[in-house]
Amino acid sequence: MKIAAIVLAAGASTRLGRAKQTLVLGGETLVERAVRVAREAGLAPVVVVVAEAAAWTQSLGSHSRGAQGCIVALNAEASEGMAASIRCGVQAAQPVEGAVVMTCDQPALLPGHLRALCAEPATVTGSGYAGRVGVPAYFPAASFRALRALRGDVGARELLRTARVVVDESLALDVDTEADVARAMAALAPPPSPNHVNDENK
């Protein structure tokens, strides 16, 4: 099956006060990380929905940092909220048999979780964490009409109420504030080398 990834990256990052898409963690920006994880999960095409063209959006179309091959879709209605970005992404991804809707601010997301979301191709499947069901979420093509009918800043919440759920509590870490940035940097920091541990114990 051909399953797309729709990376929602058109947010204004108002709580953070700077573009979270360009934050560098582990040697790559958050949006580059999201694209890489989607590609490693075998999703294609990878569509990145943005609010406006900028230097960081231009780099996504290059072959640098693992972000190669993605489609950058400009959402002219980004001020409406998440629903407009989902509609834009679904349109840009066609034709596919399904799509995973994801954000770029969940740095703990791994390819294996995305593959698990797609394990039942005919079934809407969401991610369970922090007592709720949300994105990343998989939608078969049969759901695309409902996705295109979404309006406002509520996303696909209603479509996920009866969804199959794949739990991963690490996804509760999303980057909205500077405190979240610090937690993400700590979570993604490489473990100390054995030599470093031995030196500290001397």
C-beta separation of 114 from 18 below 8 A: no
pLDDT tens digits, 36-78: 999 999 999 999 999 887 766 776 764 333 345 689 999 999 8
Domains for the chain: give ranges and CATH numbers: 3-201 (3.90.550.10)
Are 40 and 110 within 8 A, CB to CB? no
Give the pTM: 0.87
Could you read off the pLDDT of 137-149 as tens digits, one per residue?
999 999 999 999 9
pLDDT digits (tens, 9 = 90+) for 117-166: 999 999 999 999 999 999 999 999 999 999 999 999 888 999 999 999 99
Return the closest-CA partner of residue 115 out of 8, 33, 44, 38.
Answer: 38
Cα–Cα distances (Å) from 164 to 1, 34, 128, 144, in that order, read 19, 23, 9, 17
Structural contact between residues 108 and 171, judged by C-beta atoms closer than 8 angstroms: yes
Contact (CB, 8 A) for 152 and 114: no
34/5 Cα distance (integer angstroms): 10
